[in-house]
Amino acid sequence: MSLPFVVIFFGTWTEWTYFICFVNIKLNNNFMLCVMIGEILWLEFYIYFYC
C-alpha cells in the first residue's frame, strides 16, 4: 500500500484529517506525521460510532 493511497483513504473519512495533512505537507513536508494523525483520528471515529 502506497503512502499517497493511505493519505487519500484517511482523508475521505474526516475533513480534519485532510486539513491536517495539507497543513503538514505545506509547512514541513512531514508525511509520516500526517499518516499517524490520520490513523489516530480514524480510530477515534471508528470507536466512537461502532463501540
Domain positions in the chain are: 3-50
Residue 28 to residue 41: CA distance in whole angstroms: 20
pLDDT at 9: 64
Instruction: Tell me the C-alpha distance between 6 and 35, whole Å.
Output: 7
SS (H, E, C) the chain: CCHHHHHHHHHCCCHHHHHHHHHHHHHCCCHHHHHHHHHHHHHHHHHHHHC
What digits encode the pLDDT tens for the residues 6-48?
666 665 566 666 677 677 677 766 667 767 777 787 788 777 7
